[in-house]
Structure 1
Amino acid sequence: MTRPSSPPPVALADYERLALERMTARAEAYVNGGAADEITLRENRAAFDRLRLTSAVLRDLSGATTRTRLLGLELDHPILLAPVAFQKLVHPEGEIAAIQGAGAARAAAVVSTQASIALEDIAAAASTPLWFQLYIQPDRPFTRDLVARAVAAGYRALVVTVDAPASLRNREQRAGFHLPPGVEAVNLKGMAARRDAPAAVGDSPLFSGFLSGAPTWDDLAWLRGLSDLPIVLKGILAPGDARRAVEAGAQGLIVSNHGGRILDTLPATIDALPAIADATRGEIPLLLDGGIRRGTDIVKALARGATAVLIGRPYVHALAAAGAVGVAHAVHLLRAELEVAMAVTGCARLDEIDGSVLWTA
């Protein structure tokens, strides 16, 4: 008897299953792992599951749309690809395939500083708006040149990751993760290399000088002087930091705990979002990443104050499973679920989604 073929993917979870069949054990540890005991990694998802939506019937949904405007971009929907490093780990075409998939699904995307393909080559392959994710390097002149490259290549905003001075990811350590030949952070070639020796037992593992080049709030003012691109800060969880970012001239924030990859036991992003929305008072757009797996999650994020959301692991799973076609299909599935959720909650437009769609006892 012929064994039936695997059913086609109909949800993002199906792409995660397919990706496991195609990734090496070390790549899987890198993509799916989180910090320490991975409590925050799991909580990002669990917090969405605890929220419930309420339905609304007999609403006029004529002319319903998912279109939105974000930092000067007219977008067909509020789903963006988050920056993910080293995408050649899971597919030979890496970021090129991901960006082509994003274009087919009409999704804007954020390209990582640590992409495994040059930022100029990614931009040349894009048919959708791109933002450039920036890690401010200890080599500030190199960082300045990196910003200039992004401007010249046509990127539309700088997404400055501010929450990742250091991390410990035990799943990667146990798997013995290292970059294989042919995969590297090509955009950082030529940067002055650090010469930090591994700390011996008894010495300070981190505070003996490793953080001496870490960025501070002063660097935000410096960055603003390098280009006219909007600056979006990624990695904001505290209302005080959100307020300070607005006052320092940030033009958008991404509420993020780095997918649970930096410090374990941080709160889920969807739980942190309401207080940040209160602190920023609608003055700048808020985006959210971490745990988005369903269209209902997008509705919940918008109901709590987000303008748009980003997905990371889900599109990397789709990239591993089916390349550009997989990425496009994954975004399409998520957009279809969003439209279903909007229809059942009675929202014809994204700006109609507010706290009233969340069920309360």
Structure 2
Amino acid sequence: MSKPINLHEYEQQAMTLLDGPTCDYYAGGCEDEVTLRANLLSFEQVRLRPRFLVDVREVSTATTLLGKPLNSPILVAPSAYHGLAHAEGECETARGVAQAGSIFTVSTLATRSLEEVAAAAECPLWFQLYVYRDRSVSERLIARAEAAGYQALMLTIDRPWLGRRERELRSGFGVPAHLSMANFRDVPAAQNYRRAGPNALPDPKADMFDAGLTWESIAWLRSVTSLPIIVKGILTAEDALLAAEAGAAAIVVSNHGGRQIDGTVTTLEALPEVVAALAQSTCEIYIDGGIRRGSDALKALALGAQAIMLGRPVLWGLAVAGSSGVADVLTTMQRELQRSMALCGRPNLASIDRSLVRPSGMVF
């Protein structure tokens, strides 16, 4: 196969390399997958308004996030089970992220332990966290992340119950026996969590995740860590304000890639009201969901996002070409963003504002 030249081609090639159940797990959404499709389509409903006769001999995508200078606002979102795509799993992903000069958010449900990933990584790491019914489990994970040098915690809030992912039901997806949730190697019940197949724990009383989590729980989280807290799963102005009031350093506008509840607003649709709600806040705003082109990233930046997080495309790159595929996915997106900025007369991120975009059948 020839080397992919864009993220769509990475997806196409990955689909031919991965087994069917893994493809369904990585690519699928919940129920009728309306939100999954809408995330992608929403970017087509926004048009760019280019300005010309602007000096774009030099175009910079440089930014600063949580006080850290970066060459690009393109980051890696958390996703589980990278070992399904590559034998080295998240360690290989980390190597590719380092090549691209980005930040890797490592999932709690990784197939390599957070310490193993940290040892392989030469890039900044953030740690994605679910809160468990047994809070001591979460506290131990946080302490391990701090000791391993992770620089922020990303709390995922949109999974009080597990969404019904019917593609996985049809294909009978389950984590293969040779893989495990590496951060829970000493917790046998956790190892059975996805082994039994999709949607195996519909009862929140039997789930290891805490369905009783509330905004007050963030105060507990702040009491057990000094790391910046990023809240992932925001889709409304109301929750954005609550996150900022609770002390979040950043939020991620996210609908879990359409994997939790079907029929929600898309992340791009939600972004403007979130940005407006946080206009007077120092809380940073990131977005994921459906971003496949540099022009998509540019539209999100124009609507107020400060960073873009890629999830599935990173897995496609990992499956196709390991760390070099991960790096190429990230640098391809950065270069597309840079080219789109140049063609729209925006030489740096500070020059990007809402005047750059116009809705087409979409209200914001």
Structure 1 length as normaliser, TM-score?
Answer: 0.93
The 5 A counterparts of 1:1-361 are 6-166=1-161, 167-191=163-187, 193=189, 206=203, 213-283=211-281, 284-359=283-358
Helix, strand or coil: the match of 2:358?
A: coil
How far, CA to CA, are the matches of 2:79 and 2:359 in structure 1? Answer: 36
How far, CA to CA, are the matches of 2:137 and 2:266 in structure 1? Answer: 34
Aligned to 1:200: none
Q: Counterpart of 1:169 in structure 2: which amino acid?
A: R
How far, CA to CA, are the matches of 1:148 and 1:94 in structure 2? Answer: 23
Aligned to 2:196: none
Q: Counterpart of 1:133 in structure 2: which amino acid?
A: Q
| Structure 1 ranges of 4+ moved more than 2 A | 61-64, 188-196, 204-214
CA deviations on 1:159-208 (whole Å, 9 max, x unpaired) are: 00000112110000000000101212111233484899xxxxxxx96466
Q: Counterpart of 1:232 in structure 2: which amino acid?
A: I
How far, CA to CA, are the matches of 2:84 and 2:280 in structure 1? Answer: 38
How far, CA to CA, are the matches of 2:210 and 2:159 in structure 1? Answer: 14
Contact 1:111 1:130 survives alignment (8 Å): yes
Helix, strand or coil: the match of 2:230?
A: strand
Q: Counterpart of 1:221 in structure 2: which amino acid?
A: A
Contact 1:78 1:309 survives alignment (8 Å): yes
Q: Counterpart of 1:54 in structure 2: which amino acid?
A: R
Q: Which structure is larger by alpha-carbon Rg, 1 or 2?
A: 1
CA deviations on 1:131-167 (whole Å, 9 max, x unpaired) are: 0000111110111010000000000000000001121
How far the C-alpha of 1:347 sits from its partner, in A, is 0.7
Which sections of structure 2, spanning at least 5 residues, go unmatched?
A: 194-200
Q: Counterpart of 1:140 in structure 2: which amino acid?
A: R
**Greater Cα offset, 59-68 or 128-137:** 59-68
Contact 1:44 1:290 survives alignment (8 Å): yes
Contact 2:131 2:210 survives alignment (8 Å): no
CA deviations on 1:245-282 (whole Å, 9 max, x unpaired) are: 11111110000000000000011100100000011115
CA deviations on 1:210-261 (whole Å, 9 max, x unpaired) are: 5865322121001101121000000000110110111111110000000000
How far, CA to CA, are the matches of 1:260 and 1:179 in structure 2? Answer: 21
Which sections of structure 1, spanning at least 5 residues, go unmatched?
A: 1-5, 197-203
| Count of aligned positions | 349
How far, CA to CA, are the matches of 1:99 and 1:259 in structure 2? Answer: 21
Helix, strand or coil: the match of 1:21?
A: helix
How far, CA to CA, are the matches of 1:156 and 1:191 in structure 2? Answer: 25
Contact 1:139 1:191 survives alignment (8 Å): no
How far the C-alpha of 1:127 sits from its partner, in A, is 1.1
